[in-house]
Amino acid sequence: MRFPLLPAACRALSCPWRLVAAAPLAVLLAAALALPARAAGWTVLTADDAPAHAEFVRELQGGADADPRIEWVRIAPGTAAPPPAPEAVAQADEDRVTAGVRTRGIRRSAPAVDAVTVAVGPVAARAALDRPGQEPLLLAMLSRLDYEGLKPLPALRRGERPIGVLLREPAMGDQLALIDAVLPGKRRLGLVVTGESEPVLRELQRVAQDWQLQVEYAPDARSLGAALRAVVPRSDALIVLPDLIGENQAATLAVLRAGAGAGLPVFGSNEGMVRSGGLAAAVSTPAQLARQARAMGARLAGGSTAAPVVESATPASVRVNATVARGLNLRLPPEQDLAQRVTAPR
C-alpha cells in the first residue's frame, strides 16, 4: 500500500483537510467565456477554494487597493482555462502552419510585455499548460511533488512562452539554517523517505555537506514504524520532507510521536507541522509568496527562456512551538531573530 495522497487543495498541513467545493460548471464556464480579451494585464486562474490560494490571490491583487489589471478567474477542475487573447491564438496558428518550415523573414508578433497568466495550485497549473498562447505563465503555490508530477508534460517544455514555477516550500538550505540556529553543534539529522522523495532528498544532500544525514526508506505505510525505530537512535533531530510522508496526516503524526517518545525535536516545512507538535519550521506565508510571485512574473514578462525557471519560496518567517520547546528544555531566540538567521547570506 502506497502512502495515500490527500486532495490537491488540502495537501499542505497548513491547510485544513476538507473537500474542494467547486462552483457549478455552467457558472464557471460562463465567467471564463465572458473574460474580455486583453493585450495587457495579469490573469490569475484558480480551480479550488483552498483558503491559502484565496489569500495568495487577494494579496497578489493588492488587497483593498486591488489592481484592476489583475483579473481573478475561477475555473472548474477538469475544464480548460479561459481562451487567450486573439493575438496569442493567431500566433499559435502561425506556429502550427510554419512547423517544420524555415521561418527566416517571417515577422512574428510578440505578446504584450506586461501580459502574464498566473495559475494557482496544481489543478489550475495543468489547465493553464493546456492553454495555447505565448504570454508568460507562472505556476504558483505548487509543492515539490506537484511540480515533479507536471515535469513530464510536453507543454512545460514547449519553449514558445516563458514559464516560471514558484514552489510553496522554502529551500532545504533554509531549513538547515534554521536547525543550525536552534540546535548549534548538532549534526545528526534523521529522516524517513519514500521512493518519490528522491528529488527533495537530492536537494537536501547537496546542501548538507557538513551534516550527517541518517536516511531510512519506507516504501509503504506498513514499513514506516520500522524505519523510524531504525533512524531515531542515530539522530539528534528529525526532519519531515515535503514528500508523501510530509503530505500525509497519519504518516506525519507517526514521525511526531516517534520524536516525542525519544525526546527529539522534529522540524518540518509548514506551519501545520509546528502546530501539530513539530519544534520549528522556516515558512513563507501566502502573502509573502504573492510578493515573490509579483517579482517573478515581472521578470518573466521582461524576457524569455526555453526552460522553466523554478524558485523555492523565499522564507521570511519562522514558526516555533513554544510548548514543545519547553518540553525539550530548549530556550530559543524569538521567531523574528531566527528568521533573520535563516535569511542571512550564507
Q: How many other β-carbons are positioned within 10 Å of the β-carbon of residue 36?
A: 7
Strands 188-193 and 212-217: parallel
What does the pLDDT average to over 107-124? Answer: 71
Query: Which residue did the predictor score with more confidence, 154 or 236?
Result: 236
Tell me: the pLDDT tens digits for 179-194?
A: 999 999 999 999 999 9
Is the pLDDT at 65 greater than 70? The verdict is no
Q: What is the pLDDT of residue 158?
A: 73
Tell me: the pLDDT tens digits for 242-254?
A: 999 999 999 999 9
Q: Could you tell me which residues are beta bridge partners of residue 215?
A: 191
Q: Give how far Cα 307 sits from Cα of 12, 44, 137, 296, Å.
A: 27, 21, 12, 15
Instruction: Kindly state the percentage of the chain with pLDDT values over 70.
Output: 75
Long-range pairs for 297-304: beta carbons < 8 A, 24 or more residues apart: 297/42, 297/116, 297/118, 297/136, 297/138, 297/164, 299/164, 300/116, 300/136, 300/137, 300/138, 300/162, 300/163, 300/164, 301/113, 301/114, 301/115, 301/116, 301/136, 301/162, 302/113, 303/162, 304/161, 304/162
Distance (Å, whole) CA 253 – CA 112: 48
- Which stretch, 106-115, 126-135, 187-196, has highest mean pLDDT? 187-196
Q: What is the pLDDT of residue 186?
A: 95
Q: What is the pLDDT of residue 82?
A: 61
Distance (Å, whole) CA 172 – CA 239: 10
The mean pLDDT of the chain is 81
Is the pLDDT at 241 greater than 80? The verdict is yes
Is the pLDDT at 100 greater than 50? The verdict is no
Q: What is the pLDDT of residue 192?
A: 98
Q: Give how far Cα 49 sits from Cα of 79, 82, 159, 331, Å.
A: 16, 18, 31, 39
Residue 14 pLDDT class (50, 70, 90 cuts): very low
Gyration radius from the chain CA atoms: 22
Query: Which residue did the predictor score with more confidence, 308 or 4?
Result: 308
Is the pLDDT at 313 greater than 80? The verdict is yes
287 contacts 332 by C-beta, under 8 angstroms:
no
Q: Which amino acid is at 310?
A: V
The DSSP secondary-structure symbol of 66 reads -
Domain ranges of the chain: 8-169+286-313, 172-283+316-343
Residue 307 pLDDT class (50, 70, 90 cuts): confident
Q: Could you tell me which residues are beta bridge partners of residue 212?
A: 188
Instruction: Kindly state the percentage of the chain with pLDDT values over 90.
Output: 62
What does the pLDDT average to over 317-338? Answer: 96
Q: How many other β-carbons are positioned within 10 Å of the β-carbon of residue 222?
A: 9
Query: Which residue did the predictor score with more confidence, 6 or 223?
Result: 223
Is the pLDDT at 101 greater than 60? The verdict is no
Q: Would you identify the CATH topology of the domain 172-283+316-343?
A: Rossmann fold (3.40.50)
H or E element in which residue 137 lies: strand 137-142
C-alpha cell at 163: 514559464
Instruction: Point out the least confidently predicted range of 59-73, 79-93, 124-138.
Output: 79-93
Could you tell me which of 153, 244, 138, 254 has the C-alpha nearest to residue 199? Answer: 244
CA angle 313, 317, 318 (to 5 degrees): 110
Instruction: Point out the least confidently predicted range of 41-45, 173-177, 189-193, 321-325.
Output: 41-45
66 contacts 42 by C-beta, under 8 angstroms:
no
